Amino acid sequence: MAKLQELLARKDVLMADGATGTNLFQMGLTAGDPPELWNADHPDRIRKLHDGFLGAGSDIILTNTFGANRFRMKLHNAQDRVFELNKLAAEIAREAADATGREIVVAGSMGPTGELFTPLGELTMDVAIEAFTEQAKGLKAGGADICWIETMSSVEEIRAAAEGAINAGMPYTATASFDTAGRTMMGLKPEDLAKVFDGLSQAPEAFGANCGVGASDLLVSVLAMEAQKNGFTVIAKANCGIPQVKGDHVHYSGTPELMASYTHLAMDAGARIVGGCCGTTPEHLVAIRTAIDSHNRGERPDRARIEELIGPLVAPPRAEGGEGRKRTGRRERA
C-alpha cells in the first residue's frame, strides 16, 4: 500500500503544505529565476521552506520541482540537469520529513511543461511522456513517496504526466487549475476530471484542484468533483485569497482566519487532503491545521454558503456552449 493510502487509512483528513514561490521570494528568489536551481545552489533555503511547513503540521510536503522538466529547464539552459535537480529536491524534502519523527508523505511536484500539444502546438504525447518519466525517475531516486501532478489544464498533459509516473514505478495524484469560468484554460470541467484517468494502467491515489483564482472558486470545483469522484480521494489546495499587485510585489489577500474557514468548508465538501497554494505561508497552515483538528462535520455547503463565509467567486462558471479558452504561458507554483 502506498504511504499516502496508509496515512489516509489512519487519519480522516491530511494536511498538505503551502506555497513554494511566495515563501522563496521572501528568502531572496527574484522574479524570473527558476526556484528549481536552488535545490543545488541554496539547499539550506529549501530545507527551511520544508521545515516551516512541517512545523505547522503538514502531513504532506511537495518537492521544489514544479518546473523541473526539460521544457521549463531549457529556458535556463538546464535541460540536462532534470534528473539531478529532481533527485536533489526529493533528498532535501526526505531529510526534512524524516527529521520530524512523524509519518510524512514526500510528494514529488510535477507541473506543466508550458507547451501546447498538437495540433495547437508541437508537443506530442510520446515526447511529453518521456519528459515526465525523466522527472519522475529523478524524484523516485531522491526518495519521494509519490508523484504530485499539479496545476494542470489539459487532459493530454494530465495523462502524459500520469504515464510518466507509472513508467517510473511511482504512485501519483493529480490536480487541475480551474481558473477560467469554472474550467481549466483548456476547457476541462471539474466534474469530468475523474474520467481523465480512464484506460490508464494505474489509477491516481487522489485527484482534485489547486491554484485557480480564489478559495471560493476552488471549493465550488471540489463540490463538482466530489459528486463524480467514483471512490477517489479529493484534494483541495486553494490559493490564499486573491492576488493583489503592489509595485513589484504580489500580495495575497487571505488571512489565517479565511484559510481556516476554507478548510472547514473543504472538509464538509468532502475533501480529505487540504492545503494551500499561492500565498500560503506557515502561519496560514497553522490555522488550517487547527481547523482540521477541531472540525465537527457539518452539512455539505452550497455555493451560497461558500460565498457567505469566504467571499464571492472571482470567475463564476459560464453557461454551457462556449469553447474552452486556449492559451499557453508559464505557470508558477507561487
211 is in an annotated binding site: yes
Residue 316 is predicted with a pLDDT of: 79
Say how far apart CA 216 and CA 212 lie, in whole Å: 10
Q: For each successive 10 residues of the chain (334 residues), what is the average pLDDT?
A: 94 98 94 95 98 98 98 98 98 98 98 97 98 99 98 98 98 96 96 97 98 95 91 96 80 94 98 98 98 97 97 76 35 52
Residue 246 is predicted with a pLDDT of: 79
Which grid coordinates belong to 298? 457539518
Any idea what DSSP says for residue 180? B
**Stated pTM of the model:** 0.94
Least Cα distance to 135 among 96, 104, 166, 94 occurs for 166
Domain ranges of the chain: 3-310
Residue 334 is predicted with a pLDDT of: 61
Fold of 3-310: TIM Barrel (3.20.20)
Decide if 190 contacts 136 (C-beta within 8 A): no
Say how far apart CA 62 and CA 108 lie, in whole Å: 6
Least Cα distance to 237 among 254, 129, 154 occurs for 254
277 is in an annotated binding site: yes
240 is in an annotated binding site: no
All residues at 6 or more sequence positions from 26 whose CB lies less than 8 Å from its CB, including other chains: none
Backbone angles phi, psi at 17, to 5 degrees: -100, -160
Say how far apart CA 63 and CA 51 lie, in whole Å: 12
Write out the DSSP string of 192-214. GGGGGGTT-SS--SEEEEEESS-
Write out the DSSP string of 247-310. TTEEEE---HHHHHHHHHHHHHHT-SEEEE-TT--HHHHHHHHHHHHH----PPP-HHHHHHHH
Residue 327 is predicted with a pLDDT of: 34
Which grid coordinates belong to 207? 485527484
Backbone angles phi, psi at 58, to 5 degrees: -65, 140
Residue 320 is predicted with a pLDDT of: 46
Tell me how far apart the 2 most distant CA atoms of the chain are, in Å.
Answer: 52
